[in-house]
Every structure is written in structure tokens, then in C-alpha cells.
Amino acid sequence: MENNELLFLFKEHLQVLNRTPATIDSYSDHVRLYLEGLTKDIKAVTAGDMEDYVAGLFAHKSEDNKTYATGTVIVKVRALKRFFEFLEQANHIFINPMEYIQEPKKEKKLPRTVLSVVEVRKILDQPNLGTLTGIRDRTVLELFYSTGIRLNELCCLTIYDADLQGGMLRINQGKGQKDRVVPMGKHAVRFLREYITKVRPRCTKKNTRIRSLIVDRYGKQISKQVVSILVRTYAREAKIKKKVTAHTFRHTFATELVKNGADILAVQKMLGHVCLATTQEYIRALGLDLKKAHTKSHPREKDKVKPGAVKPQITRIREKYV
């Protein structure tokens, strides 16, 4: 069987497993690149070949002399592991050469850019509320800051996902195909109500059947590219020198909640993190703030420390305590 046929079957396999379109496209692209460079029959590939290939990924340099990020290598290795697992299960190969090859470990990084409250307010104030686009854009920014929603999740919201009365937002099939419900703050609810009642109906006059909550001026589901551009544009107009993306609002949302004493498990649920360790990165990032909070709040910290060395009160240790 030709390699392109195997790739097609692999994509079908991922669809049967109900993987997200983004995951299917990502895995398929990485496997396709591997197969295009393969110079032997797929059945003849050995574990040694794959070890050399993975090592080569770290040494790879693009035309502009840049190497792959560790995260990129991890995804490539993961895609190939799933591909060869599929080939073995479907009896297209006899031995899985990726079976004992482990994914590289990703370095733990603290959350990136975080905005101050003042910086967020400056950005929120940029959209022109005298225009339909301005109201929509302000709504988008308020939702990012109020809910910590991901870019793709926001673009995929439908008109049935917003509970304005209860102030809740349902996120269907977020990252990892996980559903969740997150609270919206009063400002986000206010602008979302304004958008739904005054802006969206005018944008969707010629496309009344569309279910997407956030739409472009043509009444179609807003794209990730458009949202990314509007976030960067308003940050630039607010004269924010930091690199600001939609994900920056997510980091800022989580950081503010943790800093102000929110339960870490509650934050995990709102962010949609599968692993608690991912959420705990925000605690690590706030080490100094937590130290201040501990010093200020712990009752023992209010007791004065007596000067001088501690003088032992025990002169003899009894044998039974040894």
C-alpha cells in the first residue's frame, strides 16, 4: 500500500476516535512531512531509524536558521507515535519502531505576558462604541478578560451558549473535546446583551440561520485571524508595549484570580485545564505575591521574633526518646 493511502487511512482513524479537526490536521501534516522524506519501505523502518529522526528534529534548522521549539518536536513525535500505533493495530507493519521512543519533556515555563489592571482598562476603552464593529469588539475583549476563554473557543460559541440571565457561558468541546460552563462578569454580560440585541441582528440580516454568536460584518462566524488582529490593534492603540494576544487575556484572567485568593480547583475548571499542574504554574509565577500574602495574613507572622540566638531548654535527652 502506498504511503499516501496509509496517511488517508490514518486520518480516517483519527476521525473515528473523534479527534478535533485541529488535531487531525496537525498530526496529518507532521506525518506527511515524515513520509515525504522517507527513503525506504514503511515496513522496513527500525527503532534506530526513528531515534535518528527524532534526534534530527532537535538539530533541524530552517532557512532563517531557526530550530524547532521543544513543543513542536513533542507534537511531531506524538503524531508519529500515533501513526505507527495505528499501522501496527491495522497490521500494515509487524513491529512498531516508535513503541519505546518517549516524547521529549517540555520545559516548565511560567505564564508569559500578563497585563496590569490599568493596561487592560486602556485596551477595553479603545473600541469606538458609536459603531457596530466597536460594540462587537468591546464584547470580544470583555469576554476574553471576564472568562479566560481561548481564542478558538470564542470563535466557536453559538447563540445558545450564552445565559445572560444567569451570567454563565457554555463552552462546547473546548481543548481536548471537554465541555465546561464559566461565569461571566457583569460588564461582559452588559456588552454581550448590547451586542446580541443591537449588533448581531443587523449583521445577520442576510444570514439569519447562522448559529455563531460572534460574527463578522458579513454575518459569518468570525475567524481567529480577525480576532487576533483586533486584539493586537487595540493593544497598539492603547500604547501597550507588551506583546498582547488573545491568550494574554487568558493569562491575565487566571493570574488575577489566583492573586486575589480564588480556589485553585475553581480556576482549573474555569480554564478547562485537564491537569491541575498546568493551573499551578500561575501560583509559581506569583511566588512573590504569595509571600507577601503569607506575611500579611498568617497569625504567626504577627508575633515578634526575639533577638539573639535560640537557647536550648533541654539539658539532657532521655534514652527513650532517642
Catalytic site residues? 150, 175, 247, 250, 273, 282
Nearest to 182 by CA among 253, 281, 95, 87: 253
Other CB atoms within a 10 A radius of the CB of residue 2 amount to: 9
**Neighbour order of strands in the sheet with 180-183:** 162-163, 168-171, 180-183
H helix or E strand, kind and range, residue 218: none
What cell numbers appear for 16 in the block? 473515528
Whole-angstrom Cα distance, residue 23 to residue 14?
9
Residues 246-266: b if buried by 16+ CB within 10 A, e if exposed:
bbbbbbbbbbbbbbeeeeeee
Q: Please list the alpha-helical segments (H only) found in 61-204.
A: 70-89, 117-124, 132-147, 151-155, 186-194, 200-203
Interatomic CA distance for residues 188 and 22, integer angstroms: 28
Write down the number of H helices and E strands in the chain: 14, 3
Residue 142 CB coordination number (10 Å):
22
Is-contact 45 97, C-beta < 8 A? yes
